[in-house]
A and B are shown apart, each in its own frame.
Chain A
Amino acid sequence: SQTIHQWPATLVQPVGSPLSLECTVEGTSNPNLYWYRQAAGRGLQLLFYSVGIGQISSEVPQNLSASRPQDRQFILSSKKLLLSDSGFYLCAWSVLASIEQFFGPGTRLTVL
């Protein structure tokens, strides 16, 4: 069966520090991968999606970047965090053979 992992689960970082969040998927090949951000009490904002290794599409201009170094690994990064980067970050995957999207447990990031 398929599993999606995210780490860390929680993170507290100072403004201006770098960020690296990791997402890995098990049990499937060539998935589409997604990064979403959910600000406190708000809906989901799609940040990035990837249809293959090295292929990244950005939905909104921002302080963050994403990379996909391996088929089932998706990384969200920042060189210098802003206060506005605080939120709940969700990784998700999908495949064309299955219509729905599957979500990881999320990472709660607090920037102080």
Chain B
Amino acid sequence: GDSVTQMEGPVTLSEEAFLTINCTYTATGYPSLFWYVQYPGEGLQLLLKATKADDKGSNKGFEATYRKETTSFHLEKGSVQVSDSAVYFCALRDNYGQNFVFGPGTRLSVLP
């Protein structure tokens, strides 16, 4: 079946450092890909998405590019802030639109 693999962390960075959180997936066909963010004690919020190969999703300084050849959707940000501290989930939605699969989440802590 479909699956999502991501680095589990925790990842600890200093403010203004560069962030990469790796995500790879296994799926049949052409899934849609997502990054969600969860701040402490809250539900998940959609951060960005991409629906086809070579699409780049971006939001709040975060970016991720849908790479079909490597089945990856790595999350990047050039300069992190303390307020970016959260858990980040990579996810996919299959072709039929009913099945969402989430990675285990990566906890990011940004220190001032």
Residues of A within 8 A of B (CB): 6, 32, 34, 41-44, 46, 49, 51, 90, 92, 94, 96, 99-106, 108
Contacts and interface: CB of A to CB of B under 8 A. Distances in A.
Given A99-B32, A100-B49, A103-B44, A94 B100 contact: yes
A75 B12 CA distance: 38
B34 interface: yes
Given A51-B98, A100-B46, A43 B103 contact: yes
A49 B32 CA distance: 19
A103 B98 contact: no
B25 interface: no
Contacts of A108: 41
B42 interface: yes
Residue from B36, B43, B103, B104 whose CB has the most chain A CB atoms within 10 Å: B43
B104 A101 contact: no
Main secondary structure of the interface of B (DSSP, over half): strand
Please name the 6 residue pairs, one residue from A and one from B, whose CB atoms are nearest each other, closest first: A43-B104, A103-B43, A103-B44, A44-B102, A106-B43, A99-B32
Contacts of A94: 93, 97, 100
Contacts of A41: 107
Contacts of B45: 103
A7 B93 CA distance: 27
Contact of B46 (A43, A51, A102, A105): A102
Interface of B: 32, 34, 36, 41-46, 49, 51, 89, 91, 93, 97-98, 100, 102-105, 107
Nearest to B6: A43
B97 A44 contact: no
A99 B97 contact: yes
A92 B45 CA distance: 11
B104 A42 contact: yes
Given A90-B43, A100-B34, A103-B43, A43 B105 contact: yes
Contact of B93 (A6, A44, A101, A104): A101
Q: By CB atoms of chain B within 10 A, which of A34, A44, A90, A103 has the most? A: A44
